[in-house]
């Protein structure tokens, strides 16, 4: 068996910078998260400020719509997942519930410090954004077929 060198056209150094940057799921994850924030914030502004919905209704609807948008964009764009939807949606929902509780705890604990609730929200966002990347990649959107050996391979050949 002979080894062949990759062609210069397919080597990472010869790909356009844009393509190399977006080759990493972490970059796509952050871009998708930013878009998700804009969808949530934009919908809230539209529903509350333009359509004059009460803030409780506007924030709830914008959150639910951005929940669906975020799930979809992270699944398709960030991680290219083929995991079963039912399992992924359940895990995504559980993670959102966990993040909600974690955010409440973090903001409440930091609220009494000099940075107040706003600093607590920033810390909570950084913490949840960090662990969400790994949770999305290895739990929510993980493809179960990629983690199980095929009949022709043994356990030592797992990725």
d(CA 88, CA 109): 31
Q: What is the DSSP letter of 12?
A: G
Q: What is the DSSP letter of 130?
A: H
pLDDT tens, residue by residue, 92-110: 999 999 999 999 999 999 9
Give the residue with greater pLDDT, 83 vs 150. 83
The helix-helix angle for 55-73 and 85-111 (nearest 10°) equals 130
d(CA 138, CA 53): 39
Per-residue confidence (pLDDT) for residue 2, from 0 to 100? 41
Per-residue confidence (pLDDT) for residue 7, from 0 to 100? 47
19's tokens: 């393509």
CA 54 to chain centre: 29
Per-residue confidence (pLDDT) for residue 13, from 0 to 100? 66
Model confidence at 132, in pLDDT bands (50, 70, 90)?
very high
Report percent pLDDT > 70 for the chain: 83
pLDDT tens, residue by residue, 9-56: 556 667 788 888 889 999 999 999 999 999 999 999 999 999 999 998
- Which residues, 6+ apart, have CB-to-CB distance to 26 below 8 Å? 133
pLDDT tens, residue by residue, 72-91: 999 999 999 999 999 999 99
Per-residue confidence (pLDDT) for residue 5, from 0 to 100? 42
State if pTM tops 0.85: no
């Amino acid at each position: 068996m002979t080894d062949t060198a990759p062609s210069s056209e397919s080597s990472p150094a010869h790909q356009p910078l844009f393509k190399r940057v977006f080759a990493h799921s972490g970059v796509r994850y952050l871009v998708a998260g930013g878009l998700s924030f804009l969808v949530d914030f934009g919908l809230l502004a539209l529903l509350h400020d333009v359509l004059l919905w009460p803030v409780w209704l506007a924030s709830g609807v914008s959150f639910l719509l951005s929940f669906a948008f975020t799930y979809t964009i992270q699944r398709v764009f960030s991680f290219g997942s083929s995991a079963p939807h039912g399992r992924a949606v359940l895990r995504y929902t559980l993670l959102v519930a966990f993040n909600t509780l974690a955010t409440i705890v973090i903001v409440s604990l930091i609220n009494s410090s000099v940075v107040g609730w706003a600093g607590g929200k920033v810390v909570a966002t950084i913490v949840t954004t960090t662990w969400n990347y790994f949770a999305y990649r290895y739990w929510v959107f993980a493809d179960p077929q990629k983690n199980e050996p095929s009949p022709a391979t043994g356990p030592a050949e797992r990725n």
